[in-house]
Amino acid sequence: MTDPTTEIASLSRALPDRVSIPGDPRYTAAIATWAKTDVTPAAAITCRGAADVQAAITAARKAKLPLSVRGGGHDWAGRALCEGIVIDLSEMRAVSVASDRRSALLQGGARARDLISTIDPLGLAAVTGSHGGVGMAGLTLGGGYGPLIGSQGLALDNLVEAQVALADGSVVSASATHNQDLFWAIRGGGGNFGVVTQMRCKLHNIPIVLAGVLIYPISEAKSVLTQAATLTASLPDELSAQLGIAAGPDGSLSVLVAPVWCGAPEDGERQLAPFLKLGTLLAGKVERMSQTALLSRFDAMIVDGLRVHIETCSLDALDSCSIDTLLSSMANAVSSGCVILTHEFKGAACRVAADATAFGLRRPHILVEILTMFPDPEDVTITQQHITWARETREAFTAALPGGYPNLLGPDEASRATKSYGDNATRLIQAKRRYDPDNVFSSTIPLPQD
């Protein structure tokens, strides 16, 4: 076994100004993440290209150190960091648009806002999540729910090809024509097979959307959510809506209804008008938005440096019983940092065959995200109270489908991952054995149990 200190020192000489260890000025920035974590990596390698990523993988293997990848750093469970070597992709964020404007090439560390800020001035759109700080590679490899899901599918459905640095040190291309089994596996299996150093994703001609975040009183929650759920189930694929309950700045609860229309603008006002009449509208409006504005709607809710715990489950529909569960759980929330939001899975995402990608759940459903965010407490029981609330809330949705959203499952939830991938689980395990038999890439979303 190579001495880790020696190997890191050797790597520092080979990659000057790119390797940092605790105490170095660059180190804090290289391991910064959205959610607070207690992990202290031995070193971080701030990569500038695929060759740097290869060198980091080789060094970690020689020293027998754990390895993790920090792209957007937005994984709630802190999997971007490990006790060994962190591959920091924060300087690999370039985005370029193809001459035909049908796709964009992104480096592995590009975030949603990097992509959108490049294509928005061109009147183009891409499938992203709901927050600009999320890394596009992590979002895409694990799924990628978002406001364009009905018309354009998941983020992973829009992946055209990827350059992947593998555990053996090689760099390969994965697409519909090259390394097809790897391309199948990374579309839903997360970063379990290698490091995506660059990727190409589809672009769409959607210069403007109609959208808003509408606030209704908690006293009208049952009626508002019932009507909104009925609306979203009956409207075209071009419309999606997130529903939820969260606390405002004063700590009081409100109902959130966040519709998005990505079809012809002249049809949008008619399609979204019913969302403005669900009850007593306290705040918000529906308006034409750029893709940049759309991506920033929830920025005020996403604060860096807090403790975070997330649970998810999927429902066939947000019916009366599920709404009652949501309301009773929020009534018993342990702090103002407890939030429940829904994400739709509909339209184009459902028209992809279940075995076409590793992503397993291709039937229409509602993803329920149960989110807790709170300052680092002095009393550890406060952390446990938040975790318990989130888990008990998830378990209270008795009609939930098996499994959960792989991109948001916890590190100890391999059994739920097995159910999430369904009939794709066996093929996914086989791909892992082929591309990463030594489990070098273990600090990522859970795979099915063998």
Q: In this model, does residue 1 exceed pLDDT 60? A: no
Residue type, 69: V
Q: What is the pLDDT of residue 301?
A: 84
At 377 the pLDDT is 86
Q: Give the residue from 363, 347, 355, 439 showing the smallest Cα distance to 402.
A: 363
- In this prediction, residues 254-265 reach a mean pLDDT of 96
Average pLDDT rounded to a whole number, residues 161-186: 98
Q: What is the CA radius of gyration of the chain?
A: 21
pLDDT tier, 14 (very low <50, low <70, confident <90, very high otherwise): confident
Give the pair of three-digit tokens for residue 82: 């490990």
Residue 174, CA distances (Å) to 127, 318, 352 in order: 20, 37, 19
Which of 163, 273, 261 lies closest to 227 in space, CA to CA? Answer: 273
Q: Residue 51, SS3?
A: helix
Q: Count of alpha carbons within 13 Å of 425, Cβ hemisphere only?
A: 18
Q: What letter does residue 421 receive in the DSSP assignment?
A: H
Between 62-66, 170-174, 246-250, 286-290, the lowest mean confidence (pLDDT) is in 246-250
pLDDT, tens only, 223-239 = 999 999 999 999 999 99
| Bridge partners, residue 68, by sequence | 86
Tens digit of pLDDT for each residue in 127-137?
999 999 999 99
CA distance 106 to 97: 9
Q: What is the pLDDT of residues 192-225, one digit of tens each?
A: 999 999 999 999 999 999 999 999 999 999 999 9
Whether 2 shows a pLDDT value over 70: the answer reads no
Mean pLDDT for 43-49 is 97
| Residue with more model confidence, 376 or 108 | 108
Q: What value does the mean pLDDT take over residues 36-58?
A: 96
Instruction: Say yes or no to pLDDT of 248 above 90.
Output: no
Q: What is the pLDDT of residue 300?
A: 82
Token pair of 375 as six digits: 């300052």
**Domain spans of the chain?**
4-88, 95-206, 209-408
Predicted confidence at residue 299, as pLDDT, reads 86
Task: Give 220's Cβ-side CA count (13 Å radius).
Answer: 15
Q: Is the pLDDT of residue 427 over 70?
A: yes
Tens of pLDDT, residues 428-437: 999 999 999 9
pLDDT at 275: 98
In this prediction, residue 7 carries a pLDDT of 84
Task: Give φ, ψ of 314 to 5 degrees.
Answer: -120, 140
Residues 6+ apart with CB under 8 A from 232: 239, 240, 241, 243, 259, 344
Percentage of the chain lying above the pLDDT 90 cut: 91
Tell me which of 3.40.190.10, 3.40.50.720, 3.40.462.20, 3.40.50.1440 is the CATH number of domain 209-408: 3.40.462.20
Tell me the average pLDDT across 8-28.
91
Q: Which residue has the tokens 């018993």?
A: 332
Sheet harboring 43-46: ordered strands across? 19-20, 43-46, 85-88, 67-70
Helix (H) or strand (E) holding 366: strand 365-374
Residue whose pair of structure tokens reads 């700590």 in the numeric block? 251
CATH number of 4-88: 3.30.43.10
Task: Say if residues 28 and 21 touch (Cβ distance below 8 Å).
Answer: no
At 310 the pLDDT is: 97
Helix, strand, coil shares of the chain as percentages rounded to 5? Answer: 35, 25, 40
Query: 128 and 116 in contact (C-beta within 8 Å)?
Result: yes
Answer for the pair 188, 421: CB distance below 8 angstroms, yes or no: yes
CA distance 68 to 135: 14
pLDDT above 90: residue 286: yes
User: What is the percent of the chain with per-residue pLDDT over 70, rounded to a whole number?
Assistant: 100
Chain centre to alpha carbon of residue 283: 28
* Predicted confidence (pLDDT) at residue 409 exceeds the cutoff of 90: yes
> In the 8-state DSSP scheme, what is residue 273?
G
Q: At 388, which amino acid appears?
A: T
**Token duo for residue 95:** 């985005």
Give me the mean pLDDT over the 168-193 stretch. 97
- pLDDT digit string, tens, across residues 141-165: 999 999 999 999 999 999 999 999 9
Give the whole-angstrom CA distance, residue 313 versus residue 371: 12
Average pLDDT in the 282-294 region? 96
Lowest-pLDDT range, 93-107, 162-176, 243-257, 334-348? 243-257
CATH topology of domain 95-206: 3.30.465
How far is Cα 240 from Cα 154, in angstroms, rounded to an integer?
13
